[in-house]
Amino acid sequence: MQNILICGHPKSGTTLLASLLDGHSEIAVFPEETFLYDTISFWKLSVGDMADWLIHESAVNHLSLGRYERELDGNFDYSGFDYSEFEKIFLEKMRTQDHPGYKHLLPALVTAYAQVSGQADKKYWVEKTPGHEKYLQALIDWYPGMKVLYIIRDPRDTYSSNNRKKQRQSAGKETLKLGKFIYRWGMSVWYMQYFQQQSGNGLILRYEDLLRYPASTMSLVMDFLGLKYEPVLTTPTKFGQPWHGNSMFKDKFSAISTAPIGRWKDSLTGRQVSTIESLLGKIMSIFNYQVSTSKRSFISSLSALNRKKQLLGMLFRLYWPLEIPQRLKPISCSALSNNDNIAENK
């Protein structure tokens, strides 16, 4: 099986894209986010401990819960999935590797899922975790031929949705820091642009196009993957069951809806909008997002934020030419590769 990664900033439509691919006859979509490479980078556990964490402590364990619905995640029905057999096959795949390393974890996990769910004969497997774009330069060495689907969303709507999630998680006590969001959104796009330039194995999709023109957008995805278009690609499912979305505005959809587009107009303040547009306006224009405020607000917006140094560093990266010098390449990539060597010696 060949691998596909879906990446993007959180609340950009990555889950929707995965749910649309779920029904394709030649694609097995792993239905939960693993956050595997962030965990490898930050925790530096042994390969054995990472395998145990994936099965017992990560979101992968949701596959053992049967049918459930959570307000922030949407609806899931894994009642027909044999989690014990899945765990057994996954651990056996890891044990039979000559020199098991971090790079073997995800293929073993997803192919074990495909085998237990009756999808072992499919051509591609898909894993979706927002933020994995940070590690693509290392992963392309681990998985030659890997393809990446990156979905981008209007940063104003993305901030609105993430801020709403933060408020709901904290019962209204906290809001998402705007400076932190701007930095992370900008860097997420930067990582993907850099990977695309270096490898040519990536496709960037606009969330808004997916909602407005689902058939033509998914047809573009199929062309990129070299697969045949199927009508089921406009119907969102998870584990083969209808999926109603994970909207932070408590919407439930039975089909693709354009309702999430432009919600920032009613949920963001003028200062928030001008700050986002002033700092991310160049990238927004590249992806055809219309800026609504003038450049005069740039200085006042910047001075209103507490993270000036962080933002200046972000601007340095965002406005640098695409021919990125060696010293600006993602640090996390080398960290992943080094960790794999360490893990194999443990």
Q: Which pLDDT belongs to residue 246?
A: 45
Confidence of residue 310 (pLDDT cuts 50, 70, 90): low
Interatomic CA distance for residues 199 and 195, integer angstroms: 6
Interatomic CA distance for residues 138 and 125, integer angstroms: 19
**Range(s) of the domain holding residue 147:** 2-259+328-344
- pLDDT of 345 > 50? The answer is no
List CB contacts of 216: < 8 A, sequence separation 6 or more: none
Stretch 189-215: mean pLDDT, rounded? 94
**How would you classify the pairing of strands 27-29 and 124-128?**
parallel
In a domain, residue 321? The reply is no
Q: Which pLDDT belongs to residue 181?
A: 94
Q: Which pLDDT belongs to residue 170?
A: 78
Q: Which pLDDT belongs to residue 167?
A: 87
Q: Which pLDDT belongs to residue 337?
A: 46
Helices (H), 26-177: 36-43, 47-56, 83-95, 105-116, 136-142, 155-169
The beta strands (E) that lie in 294-335 are given as none
In a domain, residue 336? The reply is yes
In a domain, residue 292? The reply is no
In a domain, residue 7? The reply is yes
Helix (H, G, I), strand (E, B) or coil at 203: strand
Cα Rg, the chain, nearest whole Å: 20
Residue type at position 211: L
CB-based burial label for 67 (10 Å; 0-12, 13-18, 19+):
exposed
Please state which of the ranges 56-65, 118-127, 218-227, 308-317 shows the lowest mean pLDDT: 308-317
Average pLDDT of the chain is: 84
Q: Which residues pair with 151 in a beta bridge?
A: 205
Tokens of 101: 């390393």
Q: Which pLDDT belongs to residue 125?
A: 95
Q: Quick check: pTM over 0.75?
A: yes
In a domain, residue 144? The reply is yes
In a domain, residue 312? The reply is no
In a domain, residue 24? The reply is yes
**How would you classify the pairing of strands 74-77 and 147-152?**
unpaired
Confidence of residue 169 (pLDDT cuts 50, 70, 90): confident
The DSSP output letter for 151 is E
Q: How many domains does the chain have?
A: 1
CA distances from 237 to 48, 68, 122, 212, 232 (A): 32, 15, 17, 18, 9
Interatomic CA distance for residues 161 and 155, integer angstroms: 10
Interatomic CA distance for residues 63 and 83, integer angstroms: 7
- 317's enclosing H/E stretch is helix 308-318
- pLDDT of 276 > 50? The answer is yes
Q: Is residue 162 within 8 Å of 181, Cβ to Cβ?
A: yes
Tokens of 217: 């957008």
Q: How many CB atoms lie within 10 A of CB 253?
A: 16
- pLDDT of 311 > 80? The answer is no
Tokens of 276: 């986002």
Confidence of residue 159 (pLDDT cuts 50, 70, 90): very high
**Which tens digit of pLDDT belongs to each residue from 279-303?**
899 899 999 999 987 655 555 555 5
- 215's enclosing H/E stretch is helix 214-225
- The CATH number linked to 245 is 3.40.50
In a domain, residue 267? The reply is no
Q: Which pLDDT belongs to residue 66?
A: 85
